[in-house]
Amino acid sequence: MFKLFSLSNIFFWIEKLTSFINSVFFILLLVALSFALIFSPPDYLQGDSVRIMYVHVPSAWIGLASFTFIALLSIINFIFKIKNIKLITKSIAPIGLMFTCLAIVTGSLWGQPTWGTWWAWDARITSMLVLTLFYIGFIITYKFISNDDRANKISSVIAIIGLINIPIIKYSVEWWSTLHQPASIKFAGSSSIHSSMLLPLFLMFLVLLLYCALIFLMKYKTEIIRIKKKNLKRL
Amino acid sequence: MIQNLLFMNGYGFFVWASFLIMFFVCTFVYFKTYKTLKKYEKEFAKEINELSIEQKKSVVENSKIASQILSTYSKTI
């Protein structure tokens, strides 16, 4: 069982997974883009600007989910001290940061035609900015602290503190009066979004998830090689 | 049809800017990550090749990762 999770086996599965994702990625991307830009209808209020949703919402979801995942793994790491977890969180963080920044930028591009402003110190937008700062803090600790154990501890603390921000982001639109609209898609209860828009949204989400998996696998592989290189120097 | 797709009733700039930013950032990150991975693989293979024959043999026997990378890069180094 433990042999299954050895770095050698993981390395083998990374190769397999990467080639599988590469084979389906471009077809899915073409289908998702066709739905997002051509086949999906414009919104009755926002017109064609609603198409920004197909990149903005999945980016925000990935940004939030990545940080939640990092924080939960950091808690597990604090308790069980599993070295592999450090490699995983280190590989996910840059992806999460990238998508959080993309969510903010595309949100700003959506805000201008919808609200008439590029930026507002609104609860949802500000809390997303705070999330970006947590991501930067998490990544910076590995860059600037040479002691691996110390960097690992500090980054885990940052991730666990940052976890408080996740429900704030999620419920900010309900707790405060904000420019940002409340969630249209609810996991419990009915969504206020039509299926003709839900399909491209989930297709784009799937494509971006595959992209994340691809980047994660490459980063994770790089981290494994980095460890192997260190071990080689000990010889 | 094409004009509609480009201008999107006046929202074309905002929609296309969002999709293009996304596309360029994702492409840049993909190639940067890929380049870093290849750099590390190459350096690792080079370091193995610089070991003595006995050390190299033991590394390749004990590490599937090393043998896999070495088989990819032995021809290019």
How confident is the model over B57-71, as pLDDT tens digits? 887 777 777 777 777
Specify the pLDDT at position B29: 97
**What is the domain count for chain B?**
1
Supply the pTM of this predicted model.
0.90
Do A229 and B66 make contact, defined as CB atoms within 8 angstroms? no
Q: Per-residue pLDDT tens for B8-43? A: 889 999 999 999 999 999 999 999 999 999 999 999
Closest chain B CA to residue A38 = B5
Contact check, Cβ <8 Å, A225/B33: no
pLDDT tens track for A4-32: 567 777 877 888 888 899 899 999 999 99
More confident of the two residues A65 and A179: A65
d(CA B13, CA A52): 11
Closest CA to B38 of B73, B66, B65, B68: B73
B12: containing domain = 2-73
A69: pLDDT strictly greater than 80: yes
**A97 within 8 A of A139, measured Cβ to Cβ:** yes
Whole-number mean pLDDT of chain A?
A: 90
Is the model's pLDDT at A187 over the cut of 70? Answer: no
Distance from CA of B64 to the nearest CA of A (A): 6
Give the model's pLDDT for residue B77: 46
Greater pLDDT, A211 or A84 = A211
Split at pLDDT 50, 70, 90, the class of A219 is very high
Q: What does the alpha-carbon distance between residue A215 and residue A210 come to, in Å, rounded to a whole number?
A: 9
SS (H, E, C) chain A: CCHHHCHHHHHHHHHHHHHHHHHHHHHHHHHHHHHHHHHCCCECCCEHHHHHHHHHHHHHHHHHHHHHHHHHHHHHHHHHCCHHHHHHHHHHHHHHHHHHHHHHHHHHHHHHHHHCCCCCCCHHHHHHHHHHHHHHHHHHHHHHCCCHHHHHHHHHHHHHHHCCHHHHHHHHHHHCCCCCCCCCCCCCCCCCCCHHHHHHHHHHHHHHHHHHHHHHHHHHHHHHHHHHHHHHHCC
Instruction: Measure the CA–CA gap between B66 and B59, rounded to whole angstroms.
Output: 7
- Is A95:A215 a contact under the CB 8 Å cutoff? yes
pLDDT surpasses 60 at A131: yes
| pLDDT above 90 (res A99) | yes
**CB atoms A8 and B29 under 8 Å:** no
pLDDT band at A83 (very low <50, low <70, confident <90, very high): confident
> Closest to A226 (Cβ–Cβ): which among B29, B34, B40?
B40
Residue A66 or A6, more confident: A66
Mean pLDDT for A109-123 is 93
